């Protein structure tokens, strides 16, 4: 340490939280610089060598210089509701589209209600109704007059219209009818049969007239609603005119509104959450409104509006559903229901356009997670489906959201044994993780490494809020690093062990009321570590002294 001039670690300039490791650093820089499929990274090496620190440092530095990714939203597919549409928007526009659609529905409800309550609409609809009723009445009146001319009355009965003979303007009872001459009875029966046939023809025309009336009424409703809808939609179409997918979606919304006007014309709209018996936690916002509002809402899956660069995500629980996302369900009136607003993103969605750091052992330990990750990387898309759907164990009706294109750099972290096991057992592994960042657990003990080691110790002391180390303490830590490496010309790169030693040395120094950590405190911490793990060696020495165990040399 003679070539390092300092009294305490306070005199040393902080270093990065890692030293050496040029080989894995070069591998990481190569992988993040190649934007081609399969150039994902497996960072391998013993635990405590700083794999996570090194990876995050270089990945975050790269990500900060990259552009934030686009927003992703799921919206309703009005033609096939079971397959929600995925919309890609420039960052920040996802939340805007969500707010715009919410405001659109509120304005449509208000505007359409006013339009259909206006005097002009009421008058035009009344004219249509009167024309339809007059047409029916005229046909029946004409038939009634013809019947009267033939001495037959057309009566309205509980079962419908019927005919009966007349005599001097009065309906003839069945008894009186039987007293009439046979020729007269035959004539009347023939007249009634003829009139019934004419009535049947009139009644057969009424459904057609009703359809014509309904068609004209729908046309009137479309004309009236178009004035409101087009005015509101024109502003949105102009705002998103550079986004063809959004324009297509808005056009579908426009058609759907015209087909579901009744949803906007509820006079006594339910209050949020009213009229729906639920169990469990409170309903999410998507289910606190009428179906009309839910149908036109926007589910912002990924919002990059506040991002300052490409995302860097470290997932500590890489289960299958946490990776690819899920479609949640809500218990309502004893049944499980869902829709596109209950689609939740996975870390592959949140890391899309950036970097995803995962613990390889945790991925392999979680059912279906490894297969789900491989499938996403192979096909370069994230498809949200349950493990049951993925394995095709059953065939059930559920949501099948459109897959989202995937552009992510995945960094797996694990030990060497796990890396070689995967390379041997899984033929897809080497195709998907072409770059191995191999971290060394030892460093060459030269002057430069010793200087960097001392600076790293100073950085750890400052970061952890420990007492400063004097020169002798730093020398003792470096010597212990060489002992851990088992080579006087090398030092350990397992910085976790060094951090533990520094924290324990700080404990003994504080216990003595010292202001600095000295070599004696470091030695005491080393002795305590040896003592805690020395039971087997002590027991073996005891057995040798008692000659229970004999060694033949």
Q: What is the pLDDT of residue 304?
A: 93
Contacts of 80 (CB under 8 A, 6+ apart): none
Burial level of 542, CB count in 10 A (0-12/13-18/19+)? exposed
Q: Are 98 and 80 in contact (CB under 8 A)?
A: no
Place of tokens 């686009």: 70
- What's residue 268's pLDDT? 38
* pLDDT on residue 272: 42
Distance CA 257, CA 259 (A): 5
Interacting residues of 476 by C-beta distance below 8 A, sequence separation 6+: 519, 522, 523, 526
pLDDT of residue 206: 75
Secondary structure of 207-223 in HEC code, one letter for each residue:
HHHHHHHHHHHHHHHHH
How far is Cα 401 from Cα 340, in angstroms, rounded to an integer?
Answer: 8
- Residue identified by tokens 């060394």 is 440
CATH 3.40.50.300 range(s) for the chain read: 21-69+307-439
pTM of this structure: 0.79
Please provide the size of the chain in residues.
553
Residue range(s) of every CATH 1.10.8.60 domain in the chain:
1-19+444-553
Residue-level pLDDT at 271 = 44
Residue 308's H or E segment, with its range, is none
Place of tokens 């009213």: 274
CATH code for the domain defined by 1-19+444-553: 1.10.8.60
Q: What is the pLDDT of residue 115?
A: 86
- Which residue in 373, 312, 445, 433 sits closest to 44, CA to CA? 433
Q: What is the pLDDT of residues 73-88, one digit of tens each?
A: 999 999 998 899 999 9
> CA 373, CA 319: separation in Å to the nearest integer?
10
Closest CA to 480 of 463, 494, 467: 494
Which of 385, 368, 321 is closest to 348 using CA atoms?
A: 321
**pLDDT tens figures, 506-518:** 999 999 999 999 9
Answer whether 281's CB lies under 8 Å from 268's CB: no
CATH 3.40.50.12170 fits 21-69+307-439, yes or no: no
| Predicted local confidence at residue 259, as pLDDT | 85
d(CA 357, CA 56): 8
- Which candidate, 502, 448, 494, places its Cα nearest to that of 474? 502
Q: Please return the burial class of 528, using the count of CB atoms within 10 Å of its CB with bins 0-12, 13-18 and 19+.
A: middle
Question: What are the per-10-residue average pLDDT scores of the chain (553 residues)?
Answer: 76 75 92 93 90 91 94 94 94 94 90 85 84 75 70 67 65 66 72 71 75 82 86 92 95 90 64 45 53 84 92 95 91 78 95 96 95 96 82 66 96 95 94 94 86 89 92 92 89 90 95 93 93 86 82 74
Distance CA 297, CA 82 (A): 15
């Amino acid at each position: 340490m003679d070539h390092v001039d300092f009294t305490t670690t306070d005199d040393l300039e902080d270093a990065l939280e890692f030293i050496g490791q040029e080989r894995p650093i070069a591998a990481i820089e190569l992988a993040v610089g190649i934007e081609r499929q399969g150039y994902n990274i497996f960072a391998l090496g013993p635990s405590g060598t700083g794999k996570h620190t090194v990876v995050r440092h270089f990945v975050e530095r790269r990500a900060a210089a990259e552009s934030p990714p686009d927003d992703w939203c799921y919206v309703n597919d009005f033609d096939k509701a079971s397959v929600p549409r995925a919309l890609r928007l420039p960052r920040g526009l996802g939340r805007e589209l969500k707010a715009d659609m919410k405001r659109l529905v509120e304005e449509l409800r208000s505007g359409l209600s006013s339009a259909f309550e206006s005097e002009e609409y009421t008058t035009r609809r009344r004219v249509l109704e009167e024309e339809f009723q007059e047409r029916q009445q005229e046909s029946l009146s004409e038939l009634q007059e013809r019947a009267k001319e033939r001495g037959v009355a057309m009566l309205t009965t509980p079962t419908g219209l019927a005919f009966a003979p007349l005599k001097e303007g009065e309906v003839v009872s069945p008894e009186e009818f039987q007293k009439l001459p046979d020729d007269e009875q035959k004539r009347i029966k023939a007249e009634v049969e003829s009139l019934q046939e004419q009535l049947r023809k009139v009644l057969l025309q009424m459904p057609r007239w009703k359809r014509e009336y309904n068609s004209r009424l729908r046309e009137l409703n479309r004309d009236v609603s178009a004035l409101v809808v087009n005015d509101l939609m024109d502003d949105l179409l102009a705002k998103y005119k550079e986004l063809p997918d959004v324009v297509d979606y808005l056009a579908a919304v426009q058609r759907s509104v015209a087909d579901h006007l009744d949803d906007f014309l509820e006079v006594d709209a339910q209050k949020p959450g009213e009229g729906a018996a639920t169990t469990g936690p409170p309903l999410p916002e998507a289910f606190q409104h009428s179906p009309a509002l839910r149908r036109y809402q926007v589910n912002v899956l990924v919002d990059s509006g506040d991002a300052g660069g490409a995302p860097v995500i470290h997932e500590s629980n890489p289960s299958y559903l946490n990776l690819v996302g899920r479609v949640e369900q809500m218990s309502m009136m004893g049944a499980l229901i869902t829709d596109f607003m209950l689609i939740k993103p996975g870390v592959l969605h949140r890391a899309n356009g950036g970097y995803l750091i995962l613990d390889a052992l945790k991925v392999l330990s979680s059912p279906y997670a490894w297969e789900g990750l491989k499938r996403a990387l192979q096909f370069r898309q994230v498809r949200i489906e349950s493990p049951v759907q993925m394995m095709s164990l059953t065939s059930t009706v559920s949501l099948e959201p459109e897959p989202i294109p995937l552009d992510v750099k995945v960094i797996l972290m694990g030990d060497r044994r796990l890396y070689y096991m995967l390379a041997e057992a899984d033929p897809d592994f080497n195709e998907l993780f072409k770059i191995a960042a191999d971290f060394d657990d030892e460093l060459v003990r030269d002057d430069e490494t010793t200087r960097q080691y001392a600076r790293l110790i100073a950085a750890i002391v400052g970061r952890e809020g420990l007492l400063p180390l004097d020169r002798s303490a730093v020398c003792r830590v470096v010597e212990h690093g060489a002992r851990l490496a088992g080579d006087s010309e090398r030092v350990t790169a397992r910085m976790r062990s060094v951090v533990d030693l520094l924290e324990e040395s700080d404990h003994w120094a504080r216990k003595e009321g010292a202001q600095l950590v000295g070599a004696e405190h470091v030695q005491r911490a080393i002795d305590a570590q040896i003592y805690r793990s020395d039971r087997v060696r002590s027991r073996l020495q005891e057995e040798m002294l008692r000659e229970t165990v004999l060694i033949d040399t």
